[in-house]
Amino acid sequence: MTTRGAMTRALIFANLCISAGSTITGDVSSARAQTTTDAVVHPSGCIAIHQESGGLVHFEVFLVDPSRRQLVPIEAYRISVQIRGKQTPVWEAQADNYSSAHRITYGVPPKGFQDHIHPEQLMSGVSYRVTVRSYNVGGVQRVFLHEGAEKKNTCPWDGNPRS
């Protein structure tokens, strides 16, 4: 009896795995059908933005981990920046051969990345949407106002779930 029950549980488990695999395959196929600028926003991801007075903008990607009550640095394999409300990115870069980066400076593809769209000059007073793709959380995006001055847009979570 015990062997038969174990076999039944194993068959049920195998069927669930096969069903889940086909669902994942379908999700991947439908995700590939979307345009490259689309991203499903993951509620646990965050992009911190640091603007320098000289105009440089740095992006850092994090996972919000409420169980550990902290931000965990993660890496992105793709970045796209576009003017809010516009479809065409002003810069887009993607990793080759599974490279990834935690910190990315606007217009400077990290090691192992290639520009898909060469960077345009960011304009002061314009709102931009940055979107990254990460193996850890999928897509994460954030809107920021480029000010051309020293400014930090940290992740809106500091280990306190109320913030």
Which residues lie below 8 Å from residue 53, measured CB to CB, with a gap of 6+?
A: 148, 149, 150
Reported pTM: 0.70
Which pLDDT tens digit goes with each residue over 75-98? 999 999 999 999 999 999 999 888
* pLDDT confidence bin for 66, thresholds 50/70/90: confident
Please calculate the CA angle 109-127-155 and round it to the nearest 5 degrees.
70
